[in-house]
Amino acid sequence: MTEVVLFHHAQGLTSGVLAFAEDLRRAGHAVHTPDLFEGRTFGTVREGVVHAGEIGFGEMIARGARAVEGLPAELVYAGFSMGVLSAQNLAQTRAGAAGALLFESCVPTAEFSPAWPSGVPVQIHGMDADPIFAGEGDIDAARTLVEEVADAELFLYPGERHLFADRSLPSYDADASALLTERVLGFLGAR
């Protein structure tokens, strides 16, 4: 059993994020799903990003750090899109991280620390033509991370959907999501 903290995307802690967490639990893993928006969800990514901007992205990252206080050090940090900010920050800065799962986002490692921590494996997943992941530079940060870190993998899926693994959204892609879930379960099973 691996213990995971899964951070939601800009639309909030949707039923699709909760369903993904439940899939991991059914496979025998313990999954925490902190709600950084305190119960609010949004109909579009843009609305959620505006809300996060009102809160402040620094505060969003701080909320992520507070959400793991009291949890063991050996966690896998996972995040969907905007949730990657908290997941990647904690994987890079909180001692004892067991791994990271970055879905549809990746930021340059220098954003949080000088380098990715030794011994912390990471998987990055995104669609190859996603206007946010591929179009806004996250894919470049992901490729750089894979070049620099021995235990890093980048998985690209054909398509242009963002948030393709959230089954509660119109952007859901069942085939790509099933493959992502299979790869994530393999990753978690190896921890």
pLDDT in tens, the chain (191 residues): 999 999 999 999 999 999 999 999 999 999 999 999 999 999 999 999 999 999 999 999 999 999 999 999 999 999 999 999 999 999 999 999 999 999 999 999 999 988 999 999 999 999 999 999 999 999 999 999 999 999 999 999 999 999 999 999 999 999 999 999 999 999 999 88
Per DSSP, the residues of 78-135 read EEEGGGHHHHHHHHHHSTT--EEEEES----GGGTSSSPPTT--EEEEEETT-TTTTT
**3-189 is classed CATH 3.40.50.1820:** yes
For the segment 107-125, what is each residue's pLDDT rounded down to a tens digit?
A: 999 999 889 999 999 999 9
Global pTM reads 0.97
Grouping H, G, I as helix, E, B as strand and the rest as coil, residue 72 is coil
Domain coordinates in residue numbering, the chain: 3-189
* Longest distance between any two alpha carbons in the chain, whole Å: 39
Q: Which residues contact 90 (CB under 8 A, 6 or more apart)?
A: 5, 64, 65, 68, 75, 77, 97
Compute the mean pLDDT over every residue in the chain, rounded to the nearest whole number.
Answer: 96
- Work out the end-to-end distance of the chain between its first and last CA atoms, rounded to an integer number of angstroms: 8
3-state DSSP assignment of residue 176: helix
State the Cα–Cα distance between residues 150 and 158, nearest whole angstrom: 25
pLDDT of residue 114: 87
66-75, long-range: CB within 8 Å, 24+ apart, which pairs? 67/5, 67/32, 67/34, 67/36, 68/5, 68/32, 68/34, 68/94, 71/3, 71/5, 71/32, 72/3, 72/96, 73/97, 74/3, 74/98, 75/3, 75/4, 75/5
